[in-house]
Amino acid sequence: MAKKGNIQLPVDSSQVLSFVISAIPVIAIGGYLYAEFENKIDNLERTMEDADIKIEELMAKHIVDEEQRYENMEEQVKWYQKEMGFNLNPFSRRKNGKK
């Protein structure tokens, strides 16, 4: 049976301890940067949600305004048709056989 030999590393315990101590600030800075990155992404998501809500509100307002404007235009056309006594739509004359 073969003897088990001791493995010798070219590094002693003080070097390992020095490496661990010097790695702590690097790990801490990495953690801080990751937390900042996550925070920025959360802020962007909230901003996008707020922007989406604002866009939906503005579109709804625009649709209501557009419908109101269309209704006002229809009322004006009806008034002109009543006052002038003829249809303002040039395509309606073709339906009646007139040119």
Q: For 42-67, how does the pLDDT look when each residue is reduced to its tens digit (9 = 90+)?
A: 999 999 999 999 999 999 999 999 99
Judge contact between 62 and 70, C-beta under 8 A. no
pTM for the full model?
Answer: 0.53
Per-residue pLDDT tens digits for 66-91: 999 999 999 988 888 787 777 666 67
